[in-house]
Structure 1
Amino acid sequence: MSASLMPLSESQKVDGNGGDGGAREFVEGWTLAQTLGEGAYGEVKLLINRQTGEAVAMKMVDLKKHPDAMLSVRKEVCIQKLLQDKHILRYFGKRSHDDVEYLFLEYAAGGELFDRIEPDVGMAQHEAQRYFLQLLSGVQYLHQHGIAHRDLKPENLLLDEHDNIKISDFGMATMFRYKGKERLLDTRCGTLPYVAPEVLVKPYHAQPADIWSCGIILVTMLAGELAWDQPSTNCQEFKNWTDNERWSTQTPWSKLDTLAISLLRKVLATNPTYRLTLEKILEHKWCNMQFNENEHSHDLVDSAAALDIHSPKAKRSRQHSSKHRLTNHFVDDTISRNYCSQPMPSIPLDLTDVGLAADGANNNPAAAQEARLNFCFSQPALLDDLLVCTQMNQTQSASQNVFHRLVRRMTRFFVTTRWDDTIKRLVATIERLGFACKVGDGGVVTISTIDRRKLRLVFKAYIIEMDGKILVDFRLSKGCGLEFKRRFIKIKESLEDIVLRGPTTWPIAIATNAVP
């Protein structure tokens, strides 16, 4: 690592206030603006280039605190190096310094998909169709390269500045095909409401399991709620679906039209042998229907071309995106310096060494299991077989300068009270609603509760002074995005008397996603 790219010592760093209102220099010319997320092994930070305005997400893994994380980092890096697609969050490189691994990833300025889903309502069909087709495009790219994601859900789908899907968080991804040879998977992993039923009984084929998760995501986008808590006969909602009894009169299905239902019955076929393939899904009438064609017509995906990564249209798109690559300040030590301006090189991998060749092929089963459990950057809630029911999400925010450029997010509002009064009022409201909370450095309020599935839900409220006003910015840390938004609505309604009303200035409009 060159001296100019070395993280500055503590004495060299610009002081911040501990919250998101301050910023400090990380390397020369790059400002460490704020924390985007946190996980089992460290944090995700936002870096902004002061001269160019470029932004990058930096994942930090402290190997002194977490020596067992090395295998996880190596596996994630090996997978991310293989991927270069417009619907996959891009990997720029890795650096090591003082036993800390720094992974540099694309910064998704559009926020998270779950933020676009209104609880118990969902979104318009034309919007859901657009996101769904983009998701399928990214998943097909993964499968063509022999990689299964294994934890697809709205919390792991980010959006770029043009509102396009970016699949993220490859902590549970694995390679199921290598040199033309495909293998069955035997690790139970994923997030229970989105996981395919065969994953619970194992072994299972990779591709149908990912396709099932895409189907559940579509249900969530259309209805604003999950289909079931888990795909097992212990769950009555799932049992109704599999027995074909009473499901059509119950939510979420009663909210959907017959065309969407006809697609979902085939995508969510409990027998993976009869489940639609990606190609068959694209042939379905719902995927080719023109919903509200006057809205977002320029962004609607041409379904046939979108999933053919070798089509001229797809190639032109990749060539266009390559013109906007990040500078090579953060290029991996092991990758050519031309990586950020040239196509992804073919990198030979020792798959067995990093645990990609087989889920259970290891001379030491206990060590293999431990490696799997510690692989994901977000700590699983249930350590038994990586069945996660709550997970860290890389909630993001940025601006046209270090302090003021924010991602699109619905879960924030301005208030009329002063900074310290805002914290007092917020804490009192949270406690009255029965949630636990703790005020940390910089006035960051961490809220903890249990959701309706009796799972832990954690989110944070950042109190930020900007343009002479106070912004209360809520971000999900762990748990279900829909459950988080339901809690946010309750808190906002309880603070209605101090939520800023009246004329909206341009900076406020940008910050609160209210741009006309």
Structure 2
Amino acid sequence: MGAPPGSQVAPLPTNLPFRLISRTIGCGAYAFVRKAIPINASKPIIAIKFINKDHAFNNGRVRQSQLRTEIQLHQHLGRHKNIIQFLSAGDDALYVWIAMELADGGDLFDKIEPDVGVPSEDIAHFYFTQLMSAIGYMHSKGVAHRDLKPENLLVSGDGNLKIADFGLATLFLHRGALRPAVTICGSPPYIAPEIVQAKRAKGDHAAVGYAPNIADIWSCGIVLFVLLVGNTPWDEPTSRSDEYKEFVQTGGRSKDELWDRIPQSALSLLRGMLKLDPHSRFTLDEIRTHPWFTRKNPHLNSAGNAANPLELATQMMESLKIDFNANITPSQRKANPDAMDIDMESHDDDRRFAATQPETPMEEMLFDWERLAKNEFNAARISASQPTTNGSKAHLSHNILDRLGEDPSLSQFTPHPSVPLSLTQAAKKFGDIVPSHSLARFVSHLPFNLLTTTIVEALHKLGIPAQAVEADEQAYVRVRTLDGRSQRLHGTVMIDKFNDELWDVRFVKASGDPLEWRRFFKKMCVLCKDAIVIPNS
């Protein structure tokens, strides 16, 4: 699909030391990402992050020194198998760009069911082990991440974890001296309570800092919790959250039903990582020697990588399911996200602290998104000999349904999700089974106008103001809302031709928790169920 009007109006640098080979594949508050290759070669494929200077420095709250720190610390980290590798950086009058390793498996949490978690305890252990390997390495280099959350956890084409985004990273250890931090930053459901209490020195009031490396441990504990149950334990670590208050009052032995789903062997590890007192919180060594951490895992080989990427991929894909009979409530709420932004220098306890990197207006955040590549799923192979323009599923040929059944991302709509045998027999790596693109998509048989109306009406039922913008039988609908944890959730619903008779509907997340985006997508699927083609049904 082409670019929405007014997107990416600033021309890209012309003196890049590589060739861009894709449209936008991802974006953040002030940046977007495209694929590239060397000038005179076809490999390796890398990712280029373009930061718009005007958005970041003038319209946002990013300082030039902050961006320099991100580049310096990412470069300082060097190479680790579970950290996105820094390659180079540069700038011109309009952009700063950063070249880095491409995590061609996409978002890890795009492939995890909300309110369920990963398919097995072993898979949770596998990714947690890799997370702690990366964090241990970072801390050994004196760097704390300070923004560990699902949005920054990616996977490689082999299914291994990759930590990304060092925009809030800080050097906590320099020449043997510890450096406490005072900046309130991070995503509220994932940050440690001592971050909320941090204060800069003002007048007669002394600074109250925190150890960012110890705060990282808390965030890793929350990530483990989400891997196991598919939800965070609270909205934020303050008295405004009833779940957090109950956790504090019970001394970390919450009676909330989410905690009942944590395996008993992992409970003591979680409680140790979520100690309220940073000085008594588990250290890296205590985590690494905990019985749950040292347990044997069939998914983990001696090098710390995926032992059987194909089995891992199959389990991940077959655990995804859309329940069309689910009860839908409008948990996403209308709000003016700008009202959530506060001065990061202000620490009035009665005010809600801001989430990571406040957003620029959505009108500035529309991009020329990359369409699904032909090698993702070749829609051209599908015969359209039987017309579907009357909007009836009954007119879809068995050939079309069989071909759609070859697309692994559409298996989630079937009564019993499974990876096609033909695909597993031909697959050689994780990425051959798990698509690199987001799994938040469906194929529709409805006529174009009826489809766009259906999507807009479904958004309205969720309390999300929406209007479709149409051009040449293509359309996009902007989504701007809050998720169930009161955090920003922004993106675009893209409608484009799948073939002559069918439509491809993609839910492209611009910013927000990928697990919450999937939760939103599933609700939309239930509300649009009569528009969705179910393979082999």
Q: What TM-score does the superposition give when structure 2 sets the normalisation length?
A: 0.68
- Find the aligned partners of 1:65 and 1:222 in 2 and give their Cα distance: 37
Match of 1:109?
104
How far did residue 227 of structure 1 move? 0.8
Deviation (angstroms), 1:157 = 0.6
Partner SS for 1:61: strand
Matched-pair contact (CA < 8 Å) for 1:389–1:479: no
Match of 1:59 among 34, 49, 64: 49
Q: Secondary structure at the match of 2:463?
A: coil
Aligned-residue identity in percent:
31
Measured after TM superposition, the shift of residue 503 of structure 1 is 4.1
Partner of 1:255: 261
Task: Determine if the alignment matches structure 1 residue 41 to structure 2 residue 30.
Answer: yes
Q: What letter is aligned with 1:474?
A: F
Q: Which residue of 1 aligns with 2:490?
A: 458
Structure 1 residue 380 displacement after superposition:
12
Per-residue Cα deviation, 1:257-287 (whole angstroms, up to 9, x for no partner): 2111111111111111111111211111111
Which of 51, 61, 67 pairs up with 1:73? 67
Q: Post-superposition shift, 1:419?
A: 5.0
Moved more, 395-404 or 128-137: 395-404
For 2:174, the equivalent position in structure 1 comes to 178
- Counterparts of 1:268 and 1:28 in 2: how far apart (Å)? 45
Give the deviation of 1:382 after TM superposition. Answer: 3.1
Q: Structure 1 stretch 144-153 or stretch 272-281: which is displaced more?
A: 272-281
Match of 1:427 among 433, 451, 456: 456
Alignment-mate amino acid for residue 389 of structure 1: A
| SS of aligned partner of 2:269 | helix
Label 1:429 to 1:48 Cα distance change in 2 as closer, same or farther (>3 A).
farther
Change (3 A) 1:399 1:428: closer
Count how many residue pairs are aligned between Structure 1 and Structure 2. Answer: 408
User: C-alpha separation between the residues in 2 aligned to 1:237 and 1:99?
Assistant: 45
Match of 1:13 in 2: none
* Other structure's SS at 1:30 match: strand
CA–CA separation in structure 2 for the residues paired with 1:99 and 1:389: 26
Deviation at 1:96, TM superposition (A): 2.3
TM-superposed CA distance for 1:212, in Å, is 0.6
- 1:192 alignment partner in structure 2: 188
User: Does the CA-based 8 Å contact 2:456-2:466 persist in structure 1?
Assistant: yes
Cα distance in structure 2, aligned partners of 1:286 and 1:381? 39
In 2 relative to 1, CA 418–56 (structure 1 residues): closer, same or farther, beyond 3 Å?
farther
Q: From the superposition, tell whether residues 216 and 65 of structure 1 become closer, same or farther in structure 2 (CA, over 3 Å).
A: closer
| TM-score computed with the length of structure 1 as normaliser | 0.70
Structure 1 residues 127-150: Cα deviation after superposition (integer angstroms, max 9, x where no partner) = 110010100011011101000000
The verdict on how the C-alpha distance between 1:390 and 1:493 changes in structure 2, with shifts beyond 3 A counting, is farther
Q: Does 1:385 align with 2:385?
A: no
Report the equivalent of 1:167: 163
Q: Does 1:497 align with 2:492?
A: no
Q: Deviations over 1:310-353 (max 9, x none)?
A: xxx9xxxxxxxxxxxxxxxxxxxxxxxxxxxxxxxxxxxxxxxx
Q: Shift in Å at residue 450 of structure 1?
A: 2.9
Q: Which residue of 1 aligns with 2:130?
A: 134
Unaligned runs of 5+ in 1: 1-15, 307-312, 314-378, 505-516
Between the aligned partners of 2:250 and 2:536, the Cα distance in structure 1 is 52
Contact 2:441 2:504 in 1 (8 A): yes
Change (3 A) 1:117 1:380: farther
Give the Cα–Cα distance (whole angstroms) in 2 for the partners of residues 247 and 111 of structure 1. Answer: 35
The answer as to whether partners of 1:390 and 1:456 remain within 8 angstroms in 2 is: no
Q: SS of the residue aligned with 2:466?
A: strand
Moved more, 393-402 or 419-428: 393-402
Return the letter of the residue paired with 1:55. I
- For 1:273, the aligned partner's letter is H
Q: Distance in 1 between matches of 2:45 and 2:491?
A: 24
Please tell me whether the aligned partners of residues 107 and 514 of structure 2 are also in contact (alpha carbons under 8 angstroms).
no
Q: CA deviation at 1:420?
A: 5.3
Deviation at 1:176, TM superposition (A): 0.7
- The within-5 A match list for 1:353-502 is 382-385=341-344, 387-389=353-355, 407-419=436-448, 421-440=450-469, 443-466=475-498, 469-502=502-535
1:236 Cα deviation from its structure 2 partner: 2.5
> Alignment partner of 2:237: what SS?
coil
Using a 3 Å threshold, how does the CA distance of structure 1 residues 485 and 45 change in structure 2: closer, same or farther?
same
**Cα distance in 1 for residues equivalent to 2:269 and 2:276:** 14
Aligned to 2:225: 219
Cα RMSD (Å): 3.5
- Please give the secondary structure, in 2, of the residue aligned with 1:443: strand
Give distance in 2, aligned partners of 1:140 and 1:246: 25
Which position in structure 1 is the counterpart of 2:406? none
Distance in 2 between residues matched to 1:28 and 1:503, nearest whole Å: 47
Are the counterparts in 2 of residues 391 and 479 from structure 1 also a CA contact under 8 Å? no
For residues 368-392 of structure 1, give each alpha carbon's deviation from its aligned partner in whole angstroms, at most 9, with x where no partner exists: xxxxxxxxxxx99534338543669
